[in-house]
Amino acid sequence: MIKYLVVVGVIWAVYYFFIKKKPIKNQYSNKYEQKKETSYSNDMLKCESCGIYCEINDSILSSGKYYCSDECVQKGKI
């Protein structure tokens, strides 16, 4: 009886340490979360003066409206 328990124990140990697949962390989920966080900086807005689209980080906010350049801000004030 002890022989069988030892054999089962060895088989279990081999299975547990060498064969059993550990859960793989999804390497793409972390990249997706990073991309998701940075996507807010790439939002596009329409210039109130000339109508072209520019990134929110590059745009100028004046009087509650977004403009693509200082020239468009001056045109918008006229």
User: Which residue in 22, 24, 76, 20 sits closest to 47, CA to CA?
Assistant: 76
C-alpha to C-alpha distance for 65 and 48, rounded to whole angstroms: 7
- Give the pLDDT mean for 37-50: 74
* E strand map for the chain: 44-46, 53-55, 60-62, 65-67
- Give the pLDDT mean for 33-40: 51
Q: Give, in degrees to the nearest 5, the angle at Cα 31 between 27 and 36.
A: 145
- pLDDT higher at 11 or 19: 11
Predicted TM-score (pTM) of the model is: 0.46
Residues constituting the chain: 78
Report percent pLDDT > 90 for the chain: 15
Residue 78 has pLDDT above 80, yes or no: no
